[in-house]
Amino acid sequence: MVMISRRNLSDSISKIIFFMSGVFSLIVVLCIFIFLVKESFPVYQDISIYDFILSAKWNPDGWSGEYYGILSLVWGTLFVTIITLIISIPLGVLTAVFLAEIAPEKVQMIFKPAIELLAGIPSVVLGFFGIVLLGPFIAKIFGLSNGLNVLNGSILLSIMVLPTIISMSEDAIIAVPKSYRDASLAMGATKLETIIKVVLPAASSGIIASIMLGMGRAIGETMAVLMACGNAPALTKSIFDSVRTLTATIAIEMGEVAFDTTHYYALFHLGLFLFIISFFINNVAQYFINKGIRHEHV
Amino acid sequence: MSTFRHKLIENSIYGLLYFCFALIILFLVIISFYIFKNSAGTLSLSFIFEYPRNGMTEGGIFPIIIGTCFVTIISAIFAIPIGISGAIYLNEYAKKSFFTNIIRLSIRNLAAVPSIVYGLFGLAIFVKTLNLGTCVLSAGLTLGLLTLPTIITASEEALKNVPAAYREGALALGLTKWQVLRTNVIPVAVPGIITGIILSISRALGETAPILFTGAAFYIPHLSLNVLDQFMALPYHLYIMSTQHHDISGVRGIAYSTAAILILITLILNIIASTIRYRYRNAFK
């Protein structure tokens, strides 16, 4: 009798512990959101929302007054992300096609771990690489005085984003049922025509999801862009100019800011923006992933 | 004629695909080769086991390696138990419901939160609200939160791979659910769980943004093993050595060697993880 009750007791206790650990993630996400709001909304006591969002002048400790306009920082993030996607989408999707449809098994055996390793390189190491090799290289080729610019940051970000795009797109391509390919080939289409006209459209949901997640990573990445982009806030249109992103601004300035100042609140507000953007992108990506799964079962 | 053109287009597209593939391999080779080549003059055993000297322009990185290990261990102690238990809940207990979907959604979104935002959150909750100050504990907890989704996802995957027969057989013998998990499910899932843990540790020790404002220090003259002290860490050290140090060109060698050691650690952890995965890949087939 004692034995049985102890058995049940340990069973109930373990169940409660597992449940609490499961709920923990939900609590953390809520806490992150609440804290970001709590530490950032007082910023509107000092600055109007109009000045904050629509001004491009970010100069928190200027002699002629403090300016907190995030437009140039948002543009910095957006610009670097766009160039990153222009580089990494074709490269990533083509490589995924190569791996899933063409590459012999031996190549896959080498490539899979290599891509995981690429994903595992710390971003600070890539940033360092951008400073010591890529920067001087870009400066030399294009005749610039300084190679720390949008192009440099975007190339580094592409290296970081590619593993996500390649491995997820490859999974999506592999998941396309063999019967689709067989039907197309039986109609007399070549292998390449089958890939372009049948396989890629069928895998499009998964490929779009992989691009969305890669984009989320590019927007949220800090160290590589901090070290490689030069960090001058500017509304530039040239990839050879330096920009400053949202993440880099937080990283540079938060260390020297006193708690509960306007500057402190403003930096947390940038964090809140990043959180909301990544939340949005991530869930759109998930929508596409779910769509792809449904498609498979048809 | 048209088949010839067809062939030409087809071959050039195949060529393009091979080119993309080669380019990515090239990235990896160039990065590691360049960094290791340039660390050749500095990187040695004494570099690993010496303290920094002379305003960090000479000497090694021993306290920095220890600091990284210390903060990583704190994050692991915090995140591993919660991560594994969370995975057990999701795979073994949770029913298909709206609430379970919300938890899964949280985990997915936790994985997508930018690392600098984790840094801000760590600053707001551990340093400021809980008043721990900037220290190993604050930074370790922040890194722990960051690695949590990775550990949960990997552990759940490992649990999912344990065949249902393992559970049903034990349940039929009259064991409680916890006994079944303890004796028949968790031990079988261990290799997969460990793979996930190693990869998450490899990520935690390379992260810079989350520790920038939660405890990493520019320079500390002595080694402390108090969780309420600040610490030096490899990724942060590389950052300051390459951008913030007063004599950046003079300490390039140290920066290269620090980068080389970071790559080396990541490489070793990744190889261990892949070896475990490879070895247990077909365990249930």
How far is it, in rounded angstroms, from Cα A106 to Cα A86? 30
Q: Chain B partners of A252 at a C-beta cutoff of 8 Å? A: none
Q: Do B86 and A286 make contact, defined as CB atoms within 8 angstroms?
A: no
Q: Which residue has the tokens 């949005």?
A: A280
pLDDT of B51 reads 86
**B10: pLDDT strictly greater than 80:** no
User: Which of A169, A293, A157, A278 is closest to A218 using CA atoms?
Assistant: A157
Q: How far is B165 from chain A (nearest CA, A)?
A: 20
- Report the pLDDT averaged over residues B196-201: 93
pLDDT of B282 reads 63
Q: Do B112 and A279 make contact, defined as CB atoms within 8 angstroms?
A: yes
Q: Which of B32, B84, B115, B117 to mutate to test the interface with A (most CBs of A within 10 A)?
A: B117
Answer whether B166's CB lies under 8 Å from B188's CB.
Answer: yes
Q: How far is A177 from chain B (nearest CA, A)?
A: 22
Residues of chain A predicted below pLDDT 50: 1, 298
A5 interfacial to chain B (CB closer than 8 Å): no
- pLDDT band (50, 70, 90) for residue B283: low
List the 158-217 stretch of A: residues with Cβ below 8 A of B. 159, 162, 166, 190, 192, 213, 216
Q: Chain B partners of A99 at a C-beta cutoff of 8 Å? A: 21
3-class secondary structure, A59: strand
Q: Facing residues of B52 across strands? A: B59
pLDDT of B4 reads 79
- Report the pLDDT averaged over residues B136-160: 95
Q: Which of A24, A80, A268 to mutate to test the interface with B (most CBs of B within 10 A)?
A: A24
Sorted by sequence, the CB contacts under 8 Å of residue A166 that are 6+ apart come out as A92, A95, A96, A99, A115, B24
List the 215-274 stretch of A: residues with Cβ below 8 A of B. 216, 219-223, 227, 247, 250-251, 254-255, 259, 267-268, 271, 274
Q: Do B179 and A7 make contact, defined as CB atoms within 8 angstroms?
A: yes
- The segment with the largest mean pLDDT, out of B23-37, B105-119, B165-179, B210-224, is B105-119
Residues comprising chain B, all counted: 285
Q: Do A116 and B270 make contact, defined as CB atoms within 8 angstroms?
A: yes
- pLDDT band (50, 70, 90) for residue B87: very high
Q: Residue B256's closest chain A neighbor by CA?
A: A128
Q: Do A271 and B103 make contact, defined as CB atoms within 8 angstroms?
A: no
Q: Do A254 and B85 make contact, defined as CB atoms within 8 angstroms?
A: no
**B9: pLDDT strictly greater than 60:** yes
**B107: pLDDT strictly greater than 90:** yes
**Encoded tokens for B248:** 């950046």
Q: Do A36 and B117 make contact, defined as CB atoms within 8 angstroms?
A: yes
User: Which of A235, A226, A238, A220 is closest to A275 using CA atoms?
Assistant: A220
Answer whether A97's CB lies under 8 Å from A130's CB.
Answer: no
**B285: pLDDT strictly greater than 80:** no
Q: Do B128 and A259 make contact, defined as CB atoms within 8 angstroms?
A: yes
Of B9, B103, B235, the CB nearest to A22: B103
**Side chain identity, residue B49:** F
Q: Do A11 and B102 make contact, defined as CB atoms within 8 angstroms?
A: no
pLDDT of B42 reads 83
Alpha helices in chain A (DSSP H): 2-38, 43-46, 49-54, 71-97, 105-120, 123-129, 135-142, 150-174, 178-186, 191-194, 200-202, 204-220, 223-228, 246-253, 262-297
Domain limits of chain B?
Answer: 59-280
Q: Do B255 and A103 make contact, defined as CB atoms within 8 angstroms?
A: no
Please state, rounded to an integer, the average pLDDT across all residues of chain B: 90
Q: How far is A22 from chain B (nearest CA, A)?
A: 4
Of A8, A114, A247, the CB nearest to B114: A247
User: Which of A147, A140, A119 is closest to A228 using CA atoms?
Assistant: A147
Answer whether B134's CB lies under 8 Å from B215's CB.
Answer: yes
DSSP classification of residue A67: E
Q: How far is B179 from chain A (nearest CA, A)?
A: 8
Of B14, B38, B108, the CB nearest to A102: B14
Q: How far is A11 from chain B (nearest CA, A)?
A: 5
- Angle between helix axes B115-122 and A246-253 (nearest 10 degrees) is 30
Give the architecture (CATH level 2) of B59-280.
Orthogonal Bundle (1.10)
